[in-house]
Amino acid sequence: MATMARTNTGLAYPDRFYAAASYAGFGGSPNSANKDVASKFSNEVALILYALYQQATVGPCNVPKPSPWSPVEQRKWKSWQQLGNMVSAEAMRLFVKILEEEDPGWYSRTSNSVESVRDVQMNHNSNGEPIIENGNSFAETKTISAENGSLMEAQDKDIVLEGLGPVVVYDQWVSPPIKGQRPKARYEHGAAVVQDKMYISGGNHNGRYLSDLNIPWENKLLSIAGHTKDPSETIQIKAFDLQTGTWSILKTYGKAPVSRGGQSVTLVGSTLVIFGGQDAKRTLLNDLHILDLETMTWDDFDAVGVPPSPRSDHAAAVHAERYLLIFGGGSHATCFNDLHVLDLQAMEWSRPTQQGEIPSPRAGHAGVTVGENWFIVGGGDNKSGASETVVLNMSTLVWSVVTSVEGRVPLASEGLSLVVGSISGEDILVSFGGYNGRYNNEVNVLKPSHKSTLQSKIMEAPAPDSVSAVRNATNPTRDLESDFEVGQEGKIREIVVDNNDSERMKSKGEETSELIIATLKAEKEELESSLNKEKLQSLQLREELTQAETRNTDLYKELQSIRGQLAAEQSRCFKLEVDVAELRQKLQTMETLQKELELLQRQKAASEQASLNAKQRQGSGGVWGWLAGSPPQNADDA
């Protein structure tokens, strides 16, 4: 029965950004744009979209700060100014990403959409419905089967693809013929291989974020983390039962990390190591969390040393079940190509020196390990996709390029998945999906040769510090086996590397082995010398630490003494302040008494003067009266 397959041609940047900006309301006059944006989004989201639109179309904020009487304009100016020197391409990408998160169906409703639908004849019919359990809707799960080339049907009736068939070309990506209905185009999805089947779940298509990463564990697939809009939510662990085809949420203990997207999840033994990512507030993280899968208990660690800067969409791998490697990733404004190593036993970060053809900065790439080799595919730097497929020898930390692609193809996309499968007993790399201006659902396969995996080993004179952080504790069979192997019938089967004859290849293999042995011996001597230096330095540091602790004790005692003296002085000052207050009060009383005394003195002086005047008048009247013959007045008349 024929079914309809939807093919999304999509819009490339910057056309996709302008379509998104027009849909969000950033077209027309400024006043109408403000009203349109405010009516569609919350204040916080509207401010972020405004800032990203200005950064993408105008550039960094260089306009004067608005007047305090315009609080709305001030908030818009501050939101734009905080973006700093973010490049225009990154601002466009973030604008579209935020719009897709807030309004997942915007692209299908905008008048600028160029999606088209075409009929494709398929050999399998599927309802393609998501699984709903306990009221929760989980991601659709797709299965690609390579088991004896037969068509296998998944329990949840999702899409199943036929086997990949033989791959005869080494170190080149090929697009094998695929039958059945393809999963919907997506990126940032999860992928895992279990028993020759590749499972695809979740991802992002026009903003619909589902699950984030899949890890095979026992007879289940674990889905870890995922994007969320609630900043208070924590990481949930969902399990997909491969036999029943159903999802369930696993109960965990301890303090679960905050929910996030773009983080790395690495399986180390029976533990999951989670690093970095971006939370619901779009804050970049560089924290480290570990989940014990046997006890389902969370734990967080503060490793010593300098950790990688906060980032998301990086790649991580484990080497020798001890060293966690972090490569690349991006922030809101730039992408990285740095390499960091975490010793999971010592819980110490280091940043060793990389050698060889170091990859360009990128984010959104995918990586898998084959033996001690770490293959990196895809990613981008906000300007273009990364076209090289590179490999890092995790023992020597030497990079080399396996192959390159040209043009805007899925292999130069962000958010593609990469897994390791097997065909005819040989390892293959399988990529799916990605986003490079449009969403992809293509499958590509690469079969790495011994040449690509040994190329980094035969470089001359690797720097000694390039292996100081990572030391191979095992002897991977994939990279150190000889150029010949015995087939099932006892015949010698030649591994195709180049067109040289058998004798030349054997001689070259012996020379390579001798060079490797000599290099390893030199590295061993240098490591032993470095170890002795480290021991001596550690002893000196311990002595300095002891001296510092002694000085710290003395300083603490002196500090306590000074604190006691300070308390006594404070008490004395308080008493002096009380005495001063009392004296001030007495002084005020004395001033009042002085004024009263002066008043009494003036009154006394006036009284004395009046008495004297009276006496003078009395004496003068008696003499003239006697002369005139007047009788003297008695005392009563006076």
Number of neighbours of residue 559 by Cβ within 10 angstroms: 10
Same domain membership, residue 97 and residue 176: no
Residue 55, in any domain of the structure: yes
Looking at residue 614, what is its pLDDT?
Answer: 86
Looking at residue 211, what is its pLDDT?
Answer: 44
Instruction: Give the distance from CA 149 to its chain's centroid.
Output: 41
Same domain membership, residue 368 and residue 262: yes
Looking at residue 125, what is its pLDDT?
Answer: 33
Residue 631, in any domain of the structure: no
- For the chain (638 residues), the mean pLDDT of every run of 10, in chain order, is 36 81 74 62 87 91 89 90 86 86 75 34 32 34 35 33 66 88 86 86 68 68 77 88 87 92 92 92 92 93 92 95 96 92 95 95 95 94 89 94 88 92 88 88 89 50 42 37 34 35 56 76 83 87 88 88 88 87 89 90 90 80 58 50
User: Containing domain of residue 22, as a range?
Assistant: 14-103
Looking at residue 36, what is its pLDDT?
Answer: 64
Same domain membership, residue 255 and residue 369: yes
CATH number of the domain where residue 271 is located: 2.120.10.80
Same domain membership, residue 189 and residue 86: no
Report the distance separating Cα 318 and Cα 324, nearest Å: 5
Tokens standing for residue 572: 């004395």
Residue 69, in any domain of the structure: yes
Looking at residue 120, what is its pLDDT?
Answer: 28
Domain closes at, from 65, 85, 103 = 103
Report the distance separating Cα 154 and Cα 134, nearest Å: 21
- The whole model's pTM is what? 0.57
Q: Please give the backbone phi and psi of residue 288, each rounded to the nearest 5 degrees, phi first.
A: -130, 125
Domain closes at, from 418, 447, 476 = 447
Residue 616, in any domain of the structure: no
Report the distance separating Cα 588 and Cα 211, nearest Å: 82
Same domain membership, residue 389 and residue 281: yes
- Asked if the bond preceding 448 is cis, omega within 30° of 0, the reply is no
Residue 623, in any domain of the structure: no
Looking at residue 214, what is its pLDDT?
Answer: 64
CATH number of the domain where residue 67 is located: 1.20.80.10
Same domain membership, residue 422 and residue 307: yes
- Residue 464 neighbours by CB under 8 Å, 6+ apart: 523, 526, 527, 530
Same domain membership, residue 98 and residue 186: no
Domain tally, the chain: 3
Looking at residue 451, what is its pLDDT?
Answer: 58
Looking at residue 333, what is its pLDDT?
Answer: 80
Same domain membership, residue 195 and residue 99: no
Same domain membership, residue 91 and residue 176: no
Same domain membership, residue 289 and residue 393: yes
- Three-state helix/strand/coil letters over 2-66: CEEEEECCCCCCCHHHHHHHHHHCCCCCHHHHHHHHHHHCCHHHHHHHHHHHHHHHCCCCCCCCC
Residue 126, in any domain of the structure: no
Same domain membership, residue 176 and residue 98: no
Residue 143, in any domain of the structure: no
Looking at residue 489, what is its pLDDT?
Answer: 34
Same domain membership, residue 88 and residue 180: no
Cα dihedral sign, 284-287-288-292: negative
Number of neighbours of residue 338 by Cβ within 10 angstroms: 16
Domain closes at, from 103, 121, 150 = 103
Residue 161, in any domain of the structure: no
